[in-house]
Structure 1
């Protein structure tokens, strides 16, 4: 049985998927006998099947077709067939350097972590000029310069999880987040509440190449609003009314303060105006977090 299953969810991103899969095949410092790659295709039609089955790799490559829309559905479908003791997650717009997996495993062993996260370095094409620094930062994940245990957690992209630490080793992702995302945040929040150990691996970084239609404020600011909803909605799931009230109050202050700053910066066309708008949107999301204000970023397969 393989020791590590690498999972790549995908949906109609053939070029990104090809890059991600090639970077997995090029991994070094890991015994190929310990590996398997699982690609889950969350498209109504099995559009990625031919590319996955044509991949030449020194370890098993498993194709999974999950036609039912939803990011949690896709991840759970891959988990259902993955055999690894450890699960490494890579997105279909990411490219992992050859040392990536070996570094995640080394940090996990050093700190006996239940989940390990690494940095994400977004790169926008040269054609993107307006708000380029903000957009690259928006899709990036920075962190401490040194490896070590951490109190917080990040999303699945560029992570390694010990399967035995999951609340459900086969179906750990909540279908409640199928269309709005954050299914990974909910999972890691549950693990944290159960006492899981999280670690940071600064050398296990990956490149991220966002699809062109996401490299604009039209996408990033609504997504920032949705990210802001996370803490309030997570507190609501735990029936933590005081927590919901606290996050909503924090959000009101942030929305008012950074909204004013953003308005001023927009009037004077300050180069960093997008950053203030982002903070205001996240604050507003903390306040307006329930049903009618949820934004669906996932769940389309046609």
Structure 2
């Protein structure tokens, strides 16, 4: 497993103490999380993420590398050939028609080349297939709430496990008191919104990063290919505890998911339209 290039989350597997007993916790593997000494993007867990990794590794990175070395070569040439000691009388040329046409057309062609690969992927991200499951993620300052409207409309909050409350194998800044449990091999539609300020629901291994905006619902989708634990975080600056609202997803087989749903319907059932109180209070 490899670290994401820009936004990395801190290492390895953690299993929450408050997880449902129906889940095979001891056999789960952390897949969607960074590992020490890793380089590059996280290993993809969905077809969308696989295409993003391909776009990054085989389209964008080579183009950026070539451009960077080209600009570096130009800088070295300018520094060596046109230094003051070698050119005491500077050139007074201000225009070169061929050069100006080239530096306009070549970047445009590079953008067209990138668009050939990126536009179909962008379209596929936004074209949501027939969902087998819908989940709602609601951002708050500073925790996430989740609703399962297809499975009895139960809801729960997922708060970060505070450092003083960490148990064995739990990871600070990554583990939550309640996990998002999802089935593998299922088209999952995630509806993302917020109640206060703009947040962002981001799980790199799924290829999902969408803003949670108050008064608006954004949608995305993914299909998890293998069971395991996947981590994410809010990636929008949303206040003083922005770094303390992680996302923890446990992907399980469909049969195991149904067993979890049966228990979750009891544990997280709404009473008179009101969900149970948060198990861990959000920090002031």
When normalised by structure 1's length, the TM-score is 0.25
When normalised by structure 2's length, the TM-score is 0.26
Kindly name which structure, 1 or 2, has the bigger radius of gyration based on alpha carbons. 2
Between Structure 1 and Structure 2, the one with more strand by share is 2
Of structures 1 and 2, the one with the larger relative CO (CA 8 A, separation 6+) is 2
